[in-house]
A and B are shown apart, each in its own frame.
Chain A
Amino acid sequence: MSNAKQRQESWIGRSVARLDAEKFVTGNIEYAADSAVEDLHHIAVLRSPHARALIRKIDLDACRAIPGVIAAVSGRDVAAITNQTPSRMPRDRFPGPIDIRCLAVDRVQFEGQGVAAVVARTSEIARRALDKIVVDYEVQTPVLSGEEALEPGAPILLPDWQSNVLMRDHFKQGDPDSAFKACAYVVSGEVVAAASTSAPIETRCYTAIWDRRASRLTINGTFQMPHPSRWSIAEALGLRESQVRVVAPHAGGAFGLKMVGHPEEVLTALLAKLTGKPVRFAESRAECFMARSREQVHRFEIGADADGRVIVYRNRFVADVGAIGAGGGWAMGLVTAAVSTTVYDIPHCEIEGTLAITNKAPWQGIRGYGKETGNLVIERAIDMLAKKMGRDPAELRRINLVSKDQLPRRIPSGMLVDSGDYHAALDRLLELFDYDGWRRRQAKSDSECRIGIGIAFELTPEGGSFAGSLPNGFETTTVRVEPSGEVIVTTSVTSPGGGIETGIAQVVADILGIAPSSIVVRQGDTDACPFGGGNASSRGMMFGGGAAALAARDVRTKLDLCAAVLLQTVPENIVWRDGCAERRDGPGAGIALREVASAIYTQGFTVASGVEMPLEATRSFRPKNVRHTPDQFGRTTSYPSFPYAVHGAAIELDTGTAQVRVLDYAAIHDCGVVVNPALVEGQFKGAIAMGIGAALWEELVYDDDGRLVTDCIKRYLLPRSRDIPALRTGSLCTPSPFHPMGMKGAGETGVGGAYAAISNAVADALRDLAPSRTMIPASPPRLARILCDA
């Protein structure tokens, strides 16, 4: 068969419609909060109004006396009957003791931390019963920024810690100090990124049922990581993992928020066990806005020779990771450091990232996972250097990109970048974006409304596999063929809404020669699905799809054996097409999968005598290119794959109102071999919208006492469709040499590039007014201050 025909027949690379699209658009998907449960009781959580306080006393008597209230518990009550919630990252990595509980015990570390919980017959009764809880706080002065937390004399926020430093990452390549002295140009600057959040449409929700007779807990909810959550809940409650079943129905967006470790996972499970009633925690929108991330302050210097070759880059930053949660969102700060030099060939560098604990809510995972900020800072640095040199920022990038022949290549943080063609991507972008055309328009734009143009690369390591952490670097998929010929796939990866199930069906369909739409994919149930991490770090297709391919090939081998008997040939001569096995060497009639399956199940002593039952295979996929044993420089690498993108943005700055409108946006994305281009494009565009939002509008604002002010969608401005122009995207494909199918992760790329390209475009529109300190987001009040100061 010709290559052309093979390509045409492959399900890989085709924009197959999502398997469950019809259910979504007709409103027939059951989300976590939709499930009808008899005798359901409702949980409300009393949250601390103070960012830092000691709890002297909690009086629950009046609350417990309210008709309809069946239980009320304080942090101390809970601590007496539970274990600590395990941290997603190993405890030995912390510099001092941590004691993570689902409700605060004796002290509160941030505003909004749960201090007590009520279970009542209705959610209204539960909510209003909170008013009757009396808490005696001894309010203390909170520490509300990372830099403040690091000052000498700052109160140390955790008992038996020596400082507020949670972790420090420092690495160096070459000799930065000498290199700076040799530079023809040196530029320094700051990037101050405000806190932002993911705000999925569906907030979190958990419903738990304790089956007393079976001594077994079932918890249904918004879990991106069902198996890690099962482990976490079982540990905290002192149950065996077999006593806990975690079920994750379809999700209305996750973006990292719904990863393991939220206090209410354990709390809901505990209250079900304690009361014997089915109980539900349904997060309010205001509670959802407590999830915090991205708050960082960077100080950088970049130096180049007379030709514009970047010789040295130094970046020191402080991440305000807030209080420590079980989820380990703080690890995003380490990823910021690791990605720092991105796609550029910089001989000397020094990166130092300090993660400081403060009295703000813990960081929760968010799309970008820290990479967006590392990308933002170096892209600002390159743009500021270009401006100082009077060079075109696109051309300055071109001479500093790592060339494709240099890959695979270890970058200073130790990660081994797999593949890419950054120069080709830049060429494609400049053409797609019409960079020269935009520069011409900019030259003609009027003085009141100024056009700004921003270019940015982003490198987005994916498949994060942290040593000692659950989930770790593997996923598992089972492919089974039933006697009817129906193909059922169960996998450890979950779908937050992006269509992973469809991609996995395509991988299996491609190997078995059947239509993806005929395959049933099951996810999100620890009783039904094999062990794995779920949804994190764009691993769904790369790991779960990789495992699906391995399992499907095993099953295919069995099917080929039997089909060969039935078609009187050898297995190597069998091809599968449209659900039928055919002989590769001749026309002849084919034989349907259902007949082959039936024969295997029923004719095991004759036609299927060579086939070992069951007609299923479970395989897991673990990536190459992750190394947890340090190399000679002490470097490890937690990320196996390196998708990248390059973005071009044109914005208009209205100097009369200091408002920014995005006029045009183009981007080129390369994540290696793509299984379903439409779904990947959807993820990419969604990620771009998220990055634009974070660059221009999204900001969690706290008052002077550390109380969250932006607790609703009217105060925290997420981009709506009219805020985002038609995003023009294109793609390149440089397959990963480390993945058997050439895949890299897709799903997060877009955030960092947009974050950076928009920030560069705003600075470009500010022209000489652009300060050396870039404040994110570029909100109109901030820009007005810059315009006024001029």
Chain B
Amino acid sequence: MLDPHFQYVEPQSLEEAVDLLGRFGGEAVVLGGGTMMVPEMTSDARRPRVAIGIRRLDLSTISQENDEVIIGAGVSYTALIASELIARQVPLLHDMARQITGGVQIRNQGTLIGSAAFANPTSDAPTCLVALGARIRLAGPQGQRSVPAAEFFLGAFETARRPDEMLTAVSVPITKDQPVWAAYRKLKHAEGSWPIVTAACLITGRRHARVAMGAATRRPIVASGEVDGGGPETFVRLLTEQMQECWEDPLADGAYRRFAAPTLVARTIAAAMELRR
């Protein structure tokens, strides 16, 4: 059956959206900002029967609930950049969002959670969410659940999301271990390049660091430890030990990623440490 048209639906409630996902499962796509899905659909790489728009679902808020910052699925990079709550409590995401290239259109349209759902190894969100110890909130016919970011990203373009689930939010824990110094850096061949290696460093309470690295491997990898316990080299070693199989694409082979990753990790940690002053 040749059906050149997909159906675009904007459900009024999460229940309605979940119901659609239940009915269409793998043949539905959820559009956040569409910066990945729409080009894929345009080039015929993806041919869904139903595209679900989420803008009526009231998911575009950033809020604080107890010890967590909740970022809704509709929150764009521009909204992240503008949020005082993010700048204060999750500076890593502020730093990351500022580095999103592709111009104001992409920052206005693209969403943090869309990027998480797409799980492109060479994108910005996964590494940061893993470094932050964030949890991904999912909704599906079997109810709602939340998955730690480190367990959510299973591989390249592979996540723990079931075909009938959608991402509704991420929750980021607010550490009591202040101050927080955070830095996100990415290595790109040129302005138009997807990231080749990404690194996020979160230093809490002046000592404890969590460093995540992405794009060099199929899913982000993470290391924790004391920053004064041996400098960046310790983290570089802990992370590179985990680089069994490198991600490869036409822009960079595994050997290059292995070559460049230590430099980027060390510089990202140094950038976070710079904030100490």
Q: A-side interface residues toward B, CB under 8 Å?
A: 66, 68, 122, 124-125, 127-129, 132, 284-286, 654, 656-659, 696-697, 701, 709-710, 712-715, 717-723, 779-781, 784-785, 787-788
Contacts and interface: CB of A to CB of B under 8 A. Distances in A.
Interface residues of B, number: 25
A658 B258 CA distance: 12
Nearest to B187: A657
Interface stretch (B148-156, B176-184, B246-254): B246-254
B260 A780 contact: yes
Nearest to A285: B43
Contacts of A718: 192
A284 B260 contact: no
B245 interface: no
Interface string B199-238: 0000000000000000000000000000000000000000
A487 B209 CA distance: 74
A714 B194 contact: yes
A780 B252 contact: yes
Contacts of A787: 259
A658 B250 CA distance: 17
B190 A122 contact: no
Given A657-B263, A719-B192, A784-B260, 5 more contacts: A128-B2, A285-B43, A697-B190, A713-B192, A788-B255
A127 B190 contact: no
A782 B43 CA distance: 31
A717 B193 contact: yes
Given A715-B249, A717-B192, A127 B44 contact: yes
B252 A714 contact: no
A709 B190 CA distance: 18
20 contacts: A66-B2, A127-B44, A128-B2, A128-B4, A129-B2, A656-B260, A657-B263, A701-B250, A710-B250, A714-B193, A715-B249, A715-B250, A715-B251, A718-B192, A721-B191, A723-B192, A780-B189, A781-B256, A785-B255, A788-B255
Interface in B61-91: none
Cβ-closest 6 pairs across A and B: A656-B263, A124-B4, A781-B256, A720-B191, A784-B259, A722-B191
Given A66-B2, A129-B2, A709-B250, A657 B264 contact: yes
A286 B263 CA distance: 34
B191 A657 contact: no
Contacts of B196: 780
B4 A659 contact: no
Contact of B260 (A657, A696, A715): A657
Secondary structure dominating the interface of B: loop
Interface in B261-276: 263-264, 267
A720 B2 contact: no
B185 to A, nearest CB: 11
A128 B260 CA distance: 42
B187 A659 contact: yes
Contact of B252 (A713, A720, A723, A781): A781
Contact of A658 (B191, B193, B256, B267): B256
Contacts of B190: 696-697, 717, 719-720, 723
Contact of B43 (A286, A697, A722): A286
Given A714-B192, A781-B255, A124 B263 contact: no
B4 A784 contact: no
A284 B43 CA distance: 8
A784 B187 contact: no
A696 B251 CA distance: 12
A581 B249 CA distance: 68
A175 B89 CA distance: 76
B5 interface: yes
A14 to B, nearest CB: 34
A779 B2 contact: no
